[in-house]
Amino acid sequence: MLNVGPVHLERAGSMDAIARAKRELVEALPADGHALLNIDDPVVAAMAGHTAAPVTRFGTAEAADVRGTDLEGLGAAGFAFTLHASGEHRRVRVPLPGAHLLSNVLAAAAAGLVEDIPLDVVCEALEALDVPLRLTVRDVAGGVTLLDDTYNASPAATLAALDLLSEMPGRKLALLGDMLELGDLAESSHDEVGRRAAGVVDVLFTVGDLASRISDAARGCGLGAVEHLQSKEAAAAALVATLQPGDSLLVKGSRALALETVVAELESQLEERTRGVDAAGGAGS
């Protein structure tokens, strides 16, 4: 159990209801099961008293059974940390950008160690992680660095992705879509993301009904280069028309928006444009 956050708040109705539903999963564990709980989330940590199963606590707190310390962000290359378990420790370099993923990595490590996988083997697996559609950084045609985080979007994850974008070189652009199922927190969460985006990006595009609040909030904070788009097709076209060599671009939105289709169209058009430039250069030589 990683955390209790506002994702699915629209359906659940309250944070307490989300916490109760997650606690039910822990309560349902049989005595020969195993609960892996994030000690850094107080609500999750308290679930240890609601199960007959053995509990392994992971996190950054000193009381964690599987602990991460000395976190070091490496930008697009990922992050490094020291993994402590069973009186041993190892330095681990994870090739996933975004140091906010530490709790996920510690959960995976705890699961492996509970299954008696040797610590060194666990570390080797962590250093070879690859998670498609989750936040990945790659160079695409046209000299553009793409931060592809199209699988889903919550407020915390979007803010973390913007933090990573802030560390990237060159001009910074973002295409941000709706963050869904936030219930009463929907408007304030989109406003918060817009304010943060205004402090990070040079050019902001948004798509989706709720995402218009992101663009409005960014404008309110003084960002001039902001455009809210009515469709994913328009978003792809706007990005192609705007991107320049050396730019860094973040694309992120909720699963229902399927913004990976924008990424696919964008990459196709950038490749076509690059071939056209190369052909024109060859003809003139």
pLDDT tens by residue, 96-126: 888 888 999 999 999 999 999 999 999 999 9
Residue-wise pLDDT for 128-168, tens only, equals 998 766 788 888 998 999 999 998 899 989 998 999 999 89
In the predicted model, what is the mean pLDDT of residues 196-217? 97
35, amino acid identity: A
Q: Tell me the two tokens of residue 162.
A: 């913007």
Structure confidence at residue 280 as a pLDDT band (50, 70, 90): low
Mean pLDDT of the chain: 92
Angle between helices 155-166 and 186-198 (to 10 degrees): 0
Structure confidence at residue 261 as a pLDDT band (50, 70, 90): very high
**Cα–chain center distance at 171:** 21
CA angle 222, 226, 232 (to 5 degrees): 155
In the predicted model, what is the mean pLDDT of residues 199-206? 98
**Is pLDDT at 281 greater than 70 in this prediction?**
no
In the predicted model, what is the mean pLDDT of residues 8-36? 90
Residue holding tokens 């199922």?
181
**Is pLDDT at 226 greater than 60 in this prediction?**
yes
**Is pLDDT at 56 greater than 80 in this prediction?**
yes
DSSP-H helix ranges across the chain = 9-12, 15-27, 42-45, 102-114, 119-126, 155-166, 186-198, 212-220, 232-242, 260-284
Q: Is 1 helix (H, G, I), strand (E, B) or coil?
A: coil
Confidence (pLDDT) at 279: 60
Structure confidence at residue 262 as a pLDDT band (50, 70, 90): very high
Going along the chain from its start, the domains and CATH numbers come out as 9-126 (3.40.1190.10), 136-279 (3.90.190.20)
**Is pLDDT at 7 greater than 90 in this prediction?**
no
**Is pLDDT at 284 greater than 60 in this prediction?**
no
Rounded distance between C-alpha atoms, residue 162 and residue 261, angstroms? 21
- Is the pTM higher than 0.85? The answer reads no
Confidence (pLDDT) at 77: 85
Q: Which residues of 120-140 are buried (b: 16+ CB within 10 A; e: fewer)?
A: eebbeebeeeeeeebbbbeeb
